[in-house]
Structure 1
């Protein structure tokens, strides 16, 4: 199903890289979840992991936020389909645990928007899945 586009190219990039990842990096659960529709689908394609609905997505983020002292998403390269409300971004995820161990991942996310929020998220992760 195709949804009506609602955000401009600049707004899609801002939403994905600043609003969404900015709140993930700040471990701001309420603002992170506000980026998703109630029935959103979040899939990590490289590990066949699926989280359906906000409750499952929240549980995934609770575990993710608890596993790392710092979370940084950086070096974004975005491709935007403004006419269809879709965006893809390749980026580096830099994760530091409580012992100071750093995990670097080179990931790509694909987002499908509906009414200014994520309806579907597909993640391709270069290493072990940290979003279980």
Structure 2
């Protein structure tokens, strides 16, 4: 299903990088979840995993936030489909665990935003990850 687009190119990039990834890196659970519709779908395509709805997405992020002391998403390259409210970002995920181990992943995310009463939110997220799935 296609949704009526409501954000400009710049606003789509801002949503993905500043509203979403900046909050993931800060481990701000409520702000991260506020980026998703209640019925959102979050899929890690390279690991065949699927999280459906905010409760499952919350649990996934709780595990992710608990596994790493520091989470950094950086070096973004974004491609935007403004006419259809979609955005893709290629980036590096740098993850530091409590023992000092660093995991570097080269990922690509595809997002579809859907309008809502409180503004647009992610309806679908598809993640392609270069290494082992850290979003279990």
Q: Which residue of 1 aligns with 2:65?
A: 65
Aligned to 2:61, the other structure's residue is in SS state helix
Unaligned segments of structure 1, at least 5 residues = none
User: Distance between the aligned counterparts of 2:122 and 2:31, measured in 1?
Assistant: 13
2:37 is paired with a residue whose SS is strand
Deviation at 1:73, TM superposition (A): 0.2
Q: CA deviation at 1:94?
A: 0.1
Distance in 2, matches of 1:31 and 1:123, equals 20
Distance 2:121 2:78 in 1: 17
Q: Which runs of 5+ in 2 are unaligned?
A: none
Determine the structure 2 residue equivalent to 1:51: 51
TM-score, structure 1 as length reference: 1.00
Structure-1 residue corresponding to 2:130: 126
Task: Using structure 2 for the length normalisation, give the TM-score.
Answer: 0.97
Question: CA–CA distance in 2 between the matches of 1:6 and 1:93?
Answer: 28
Residues 77-96 of structure 1 aligned to structure 2 (within 5 Å): 77-96=77-96
Using the TM superposition, give the Cα deviation of residue 42 of structure 1 relative to its aligned residue in structure 2, in angstroms: 0.1
Q: Any idea what SS the aligned residue of 1:83 has? A: helix
Mapped to 2, the partners of 1:95 and 1:4 lie a distance apart of 36
- For 1:42 and 1:89, how far apart are their aligned partners in 2? 15
Q: Distance in 2 between matches of 1:38 and 1:131?
A: 19
Say how many residue pairs are matched. 132
1:27 corresponds to: 27
Match of 2:3 in 1: 3
How much has 1:103 moved relative to structure 2? 0.1
